[in-house]
A and B are shown apart, each in its own frame.
Chain A
Amino acid sequence: GQQVMQIPQYQHVQEGEDFTTYCNSSTTLSNIQWYKQRPGGHPVFLIQLVKSGEVKKQKRLTFQFGEAKKNSSLHITATQTTDVGTYFCAGGTGTASKLTFGTGTRLQVTL
């Protein structure tokens, strides 16, 4: 079945440093979504990418969808303590009518 892996599993950064998480799918995706889950919270939707090579920005967050639509990345510039949480990508395959969540990257930010 479809697998979606993320690396790294965990990253600890100092506030102000940049952070990137990478998402790789075993199959070609129709779209990719990103979610953030704060400790003890529930996943919250951040963004969706649909087109090959698409890049979208939300303030300090930059999302990219690979040309082959099998990988994606989320880059955070100048992290803040409010960025703490686990970031999940989730790939859609259209006909399967479901999202497969990645393994997640837990981000810890300290002062």
Chain B
Amino acid sequence: DTAVSQTPKYLVTQMGNDKSIKCEQNLGHDTMYWYKQDSKKFLKIMFSYNNKELIINETVPNRFSPKSPDKAHLNLHINSLELGDSAVYFCASSQGRTAGTGELFFGEGSRLTVL
């Protein structure tokens, strides 16, 4: 059983399109995250939700909108895709509210390519 699962694994789309990535965790964790990893491998946090409540919202364009229907799911919707959005997006989860103190469990990543 995969602990943190993301779909789809690969996304290739045209500029201007809208796309969504879904994430589910079966670890019973309270907190979920979206991280973006660019071509230089830098990992930057985008959003964090604790039990459906948004707790971290880094400087991310409004085109990115997270949604957490319940504490086991955190989806990411991206409007009007741009070339610079091409990256690998990782979902992660951890126990507890304070992200800095608990181990992060990452999904396998969703590679988004914008043409």
Contact = CB atoms under 8 A, between A and B. Distances in A.
Interface of A: 30-31, 33, 35, 37, 41-45, 48, 86, 88, 90-94, 96-101, 103-104, 106
A86 B97 CA distance: 27
B44 A101 contact: yes
B48 A97 contact: yes
A14 B90 CA distance: 31
Interface of chain B: mostly helix, strand, loop or mixed: mixed
A101 B42 contact: yes
Interface of B: 35, 41-45, 48, 55-56, 90, 97-101, 103-109
A104 B100 contact: no
Contacts of A103: 42
A88 B43 contact: yes
A70 to B, nearest CB: 15
B43 A98 contact: no
In this complex, which of B43, B104, B107 has the most chain A Cβ atoms within 10 angstroms of its Cβ? Answer: B43
A86 B100 contact: no
A94 B101 CA distance: 7
B45 to A, nearest CB: 6
A45 B104 contact: yes
B104 to A, nearest CB: 6
Contacts of A30: 100-101
B97 to A, nearest CB: 7
A58 to B, nearest CB: 14
B100 A99 contact: yes
B109 A97 contact: no
6 contacts: A43-B106, A44-B106, A94-B101, A97-B55, A97-B56, A99-B99
